[in-house]
Amino acid sequence: MFHLPENIPLKFTTSLGPWSEIYSPNDGKLLCKVQQGTEEDIQNILSHTKNIQKTISSLLPYERSEILKKTAQNLQEIQDQLAFVIASEGGKPLKDAKVEVQRAIGTLELCAEETLRLSGETIPMERSSSGKDHISFTMRDPIGPVLAISAFNHPLNLIAHQVGCALAAGCCVVLKPAPATPMSAHFLEEALKKAGLPSGGLRVVLAEIPLVEKLVSSPVFDYVSFIGSAKVGWNLRKILAPGTRLALEHGGQAPALIREDADIDHAVTTLTRGAFYHAGQVCISTQIIYVHESLFKNFLQKFKESALNLKVGNATDIETDVGPLIRTSEVTRLQSWIEEAIQQGASCELGNKISGNLKQYLSPTILSNVPSHSKLMTEEAFGPVVCVNSFRDENQVLDDINSSDYLFEASLFTKNISRALQIAKKISTMTFVINNHTAFRVDQMPFGGHKKSGLGMGGVKYSIEEMTRLKQVIIKI
């Protein structure tokens, strides 16, 4: 077991900005102090980014690939420490934090591989008479400097995606990690330096919102990657400099549909994981479960029993299944949404209990028969709260899912693969999972949402392509 010394000074910038204290959501323990960026830091970043970009874009693909592979190896050497850091600063259960570290290592290895595959294509010019005696091909150039703004819930793997993909594409990166989880960013930065990344290839800054907005609105950056709330993300879009490309990864309601022919025991086990993993603080955490009326009572009883077996507690305990929410205010918000749903006619079947000296632990909570206009049915909960409703008309449920403002990921449980594929054609979410929970993800797959759930496409290969510009070369022969 690792024990982090208190008051670790993390100095990402060179100024004399104020220091902020970072406390663990598990027990309020002081973890570190982080120096905040100042106006001077922001101006320094903006002044030097274009020159740093020239250095990074001059690295050949094999050189970028080697740096990323060495970075992955460096993280592998400190994997246990990293997992403890993630559990301490972000409240993710240690067993899941260990998985995140391995995913981050795999993400960087994928970035290293895709760097070597990054290429264009030959254009068949002689398919038309005007193309006669011409040869054409495309190539991919780095888009330019990238600004990455990240989230707390996967503090290492999310930044591995944002930073790793940018470097793979040949772009320098300025990273603003989530204020609550800066330690993971510190370890990634150190691993990249040790791997030989040229100075300035990654710069990490923590700053107040007005200073971050100066970065976002600057024409210095050709690409902005934002992971976080929809409200913040769509507002950032309004202040972008003309020509800056934007990627937004928000969240959703991640509904699951259980047909009358589903394997109930499998659905219960799987959805317990999908709903309560990391206390529901996942953008594709299962939030709404529609169960056919013939299975409703049986499923609900088994689902409650399964959730009751989850251990709520300090995330650094290897036995913990559900850790704290990142802030007490999130518990307060969720409880107000739960109370609203109950007042509107929903039944609280399980949970809704607060614990811990910081009041940041909310026990797994299950509500049934939740009205469609409740916040828990129309907004992203981002917590350990699940709505379980019965249905008779399957097509009506599909219409309800498709009418949502958040179309990220949905899942279906059935033994009828033919019907499952028919539903796959009808459903409007970006990702549709059959016989698994909505929070399922591997890092090589495309990842993103429609409507309010996001903009652009994540996933290693897809992000790297978005961080490049297509260039066409035509030769008259």
| Token reading at 26 | 């598990």
Catalytic residue flag (residue 283)? yes
How far apart CA 386 and CA 366 sit, in angstroms, is 5
Beta pairing partners, 20: 34
Report how far Cα 309 is from the mean position of its chain's Cα atoms. Answer: 27
What are the C-alpha distances in Å from 229 to residues 234, 250, 454? 9, 5, 10
Residue 435, burial from CB neighbour count under 10 angstroms (0-12, 13-18, 19+): middle
End-to-end CA distance of the chain, in Å? 68
Q: Which CA distances in Å does 401 have to 257, 260, 290, 312? A: 10, 18, 10, 31
Spatial distance between the Cα atoms of 98 and 184, rounded to a whole number of angstroms: 13
The helix/strand/coil state of 140 is strand
Is residue 457 classed exposed, middle or buried when 0-12, 13-18 and 19+ CB atoms within 10 A define those classes?
middle
Residue in this structure with the two tokens 């190896």, named with its chain if needed: 73
| Helices 417-426 + 394-402 axis angle, to 10 | 40
Token reading at 268: 């219960």
Residue 318 CA to residue 96 CA, distance in Å, equals: 9
**What is the C-alpha to C-alpha distance for residues 148 and 169, in angstroms, rounded to an integer?**
14
Closest CA to 402 of 424, 387, 434: 424
CA dist 87 and 4 (Å) reads 11
Tell me which of 249, 349, 380, 409 is the catalytic residue. 249
Residue of 283, 330, 380, 466 marked catalytic = 283
The yes-or-no answer on residue 172 being catalytic is no
Residues forming the active site: 249, 283
